[in-house]
A and B are shown apart, each in its own frame.
Chain A
Amino acid sequence: EIVLTQSPGTLSLSPGERATLSCRASQSVSSSYLAWYQQKPGQAPRLLIYGASSRATGIPDRFSGSGSGTDFTLTISRLEPEDFAVYYCQQYGSSPRDTFGQGTKLEIK
């Protein structure tokens, strides 16, 4: 099973700042089958990024993903108030069993 470790656990930033979230895999994620989701309280997760760097439909271009192999990054270039949420990474193609990271909470400083 591929284990995904996200860091930091909590990130405290102000609107307008840049956010950098990390996701590290215990083994290589093939073909960059890595996705990022945003989840707000009481809501289902929303797909942001797939294939490590492709934005899902309707996702603003301030969200970007990068990385390959075992190290992946989600960057939010300029934080908007609605971006404060919990973010999860997911690997979905390297093994029959998907796995999620434990999440990074992005909170207002």
Chain B
Amino acid sequence: EVQLVESGGGLVKPGGSLRLSCAASGFTFSSYSMNWVRQAPGKGLEWVSSISSSSSYIYYADSVKGRFTISRDNAKNSLYLQMNSLRAEDTAVYYCARVSSSWTRKGPFDYWGQGTLVTVSS
């Protein structure tokens, strides 16, 4: 069974940093591109970042570029999101999500974690 479990969320002050993790199991993690998607309270979905299976291709939304860094450790079946210079508008539930096919870098997201809440407030 495919499972994605996020962790690392919490309360942080503006300007602070946080590192999110996503532990993957039930599939060959190293074969799939992965993504982070966030959802502010009561709002819609916002794509944040993607990373290809071998980390060769990395993309960010303009809203986080230069502040967030996506990475992965295929040996540990884990995806990460390092978030620096956090702002109030970064407050959201952060989901990790898997691209559906191991054959393509881009694709729909067929499995999602349960999300981890990040709150940026003084």
Count residues on chain A whose CB falls below 8 Å from chain B CBs. 26
> Are B113 and A44 in contact (CB-based, < 8 A)?
yes
> Are A98 and B112 in contact (CB-based, < 8 A)?
no
B58-74: contact bitstring with A at CB < 8 Å (1 yes, 0 no)? 01111000000000000
- C-alpha spacing A4/B108, complex, angstroms: 15
- C-alpha spacing A50/B44, complex, angstroms: 19
- C-alpha spacing A100/B46, complex, angstroms: 6
> Are A92 and B95 in contact (CB-based, < 8 A)?
no
> Are B47 and A98 in contact (CB-based, < 8 A)?
yes
Q: Known: A97-B59, A100-B44, A100-B46. Is A44-B106 also a contact (CB below 8 A)?
A: no
List residues 16-54 of chain B with CB under 8 A from any CB of chain A: 35, 37, 44-47, 50
> Are B107 and A92 in contact (CB-based, < 8 A)?
yes
Identify the B interface with A (CB < 8 A). Answer: 35, 37, 44-47, 50, 57, 59-62, 95, 100, 106-110, 112-115
Q: 29 A-B residue contacts at CB 8 Å?
A: A33-B106, A35-B109, A37-B45, A44-B112, A44-B115, A46-B112, A47-B100, A47-B108, A47-B109, A50-B100, A50-B107, A51-B108, A56-B108, A86-B44, A88-B44, A90-B108, A92-B108, A92-B109, A93-B106, A96-B50, A96-B59, A96-B106, A97-B59, A97-B61, A98-B106, A100-B44, A100-B45, A100-B47, A101-B44
